[in-house]
Structure formats: C-alpha cells, structure tokens
Amino acid sequence: MMDYAAENKNPNYGFDVLSDESMYLNKAASVKALVSGFHYLHNPADQVQYKTMWYHLAVLKNEPVSHELFALDKMPSYLDEQVKAFQEKEKTMLQLPLMEALEELIQVLGLMELRKESAYISGFKEAVFDFTANNRADFSGFLDWWEDQQLKRTVKIPEGHNAMRIMTIHKSKGLQFKVVLMPFLKWTIFDTSKGNVIWSPFEDREKGLSAIIPLNLNNELANSDFRETYAEEATMAYLDSLNMLYVALTRAEEVFYGFSPFKETIKSQNYMEAQLQQLIQFDGSEEGD
C-alpha cells in the first residue's frame, strides 16, 4: 500500500495504513538509538551500546552497514560529523537533567531531521517526561523503568485519523468498520504438519493401566487406537475456523471485500478457500445437501 501510494500521487485517494505493531515505540530505530545512547551514557565502558547507537543511526540514514561501523577504533566517514558532536557534548549530557540530556542527544544525532521518525521521538519524549514526573530522573532509574514499560508505550494516534488499520482477525473482535478488506481468506483448517502435541487419556484394561499421554498430532493417529482423539481435534479445528471466519465477516458495517484463490478441482475439504468456494457455488438444488 505504501509503495503504491508513493508511485501514484492521486489526491482523490488515500493509501495511508496503520498497524498496532508498527506503533510501538521500542520498534522504532530512532528510539532504539536513543535508548542505546542512554545505556552508553550510564556506562561509558559499554562499547556495545555505543556502537549499537551508531548502527541504528546508519540504518535510519540508509547508509551501508559495514565492519567499519563495529570496529573499536574506526567509524564510517558518513558519521564523522555526528561522532564529533557527540564527543563534544558527552560530558555535558552526563551533567544535565534527564529530559535536557535527551534533547541534547536528539540534537547531536540529528534525529529531528528525519521527519518520518518525529512521531516516535515525540512519543519517547513523552515517556521520559512521564518517568521524570514521578521518579528520580537519572539514567539508571529510567533504563530500569523502560525495560518494564517499553511494550506498553505506543505512538498516540488521534481519533478519526483517516488511515486503513491493519490487524489480525483475533484483534478485530468486537470492533466494526464501514469497509473491511481481507486479502488472505485462505488457510489450512486442520493442520497436522506442525507436530503439535496433544494429551490423550489411555487405558489398558488387561494390564490395569490408566494414564494421560502426549501424542504428536499427525495423520497416522486417524488409523490408530487414538482415532477418536484425532477426530475430536479435527472437529474442534473446523469449529475454530468457522468462528474465526464469522468474526472476520461480521466486522464490516457496509462492505466486505475478501480475496480467496479459486480451485479448479477440490480434492480436500481441509482448506477454507475450498469451503467458501463450495458455499458460493451451491445453488441449493441438490436434495440432501
């Protein structure tokens, strides 16, 4: 969607997309660079964090990542300006309050020039501000706090933001949208290829044995003494898929677009696309179906 929008500048259409996963602050390279910078300032002997900070900055600038970037006594020439600025400000940042040290680090690394990262940087500033409002503002305390809080901090999107939201069927439960697009309306309903383990009761009356044993879920169980367990798992898999499909199809208020591959010959009922195709093609004329 983003690539298409970049290549097709049409003011009548919007292709902006949002996903919850992309909104987490700790996923952003700019925030990773700042956190690594904090780690280094807290412990200047930690060269790994120092190099990690420059690595994320190189990624943000779309610069080549080479061995030179990780060598202890070297640094790529394209980072000369930022490295010099950092070294000049390093001692100053150690003496500043946490919030001011963050502002200096952002300035030194030139992160505000990267406009695509501004929302993440603003979100991280807010996180630091929230911490300093209720805690002693030092690097050590913040880094411990961030370790616990990083999975809870996201970019805040204003209500009514005009963009498509990308989410799983499970996360869409309970929500509703005027239009829903589902590009991958296909999956294996009862997948026995993953080697999942199920626990099944086992009884040998002749030997007086009774136990619950682990079984590898595969097709061989269908022709074994555990065929009832296999059949129960298959039934539950079909019910789970039916429930999931129900959730997907009922999120739309007005329009639902689903994309599912067509099968010339349906040899197995174990695929959602086969089930949907037969449902759509069925005209209700055959007795007994």
pLDDT of residue 159: 65
pLDDT of residue 188: 92
Predicted TM-score of the model (pTM): 0.60
pLDDT of residue 288: 58
pLDDT of residue 158: 67
pLDDT of residue 287: 67
- Residues 152, 26: Cα–Cα separation, whole Å: 9
- Residues 269, 189: Cα–Cα separation, whole Å: 9
Residue ranges for the chain with pLDDT beneath 70: 158-160, 284-289
- Residues 127, 130: Cα–Cα separation, whole Å: 5
Q: Are 61 and 29 in contact (CB under 8 A)?
A: no
In 222-241, which positions are buried (b, 16+ CB within 10 angstroms) versus exposed (e)?
Answer: eeeebeebbeebbeebbeeb
Amino acid letter, residue 77:
S
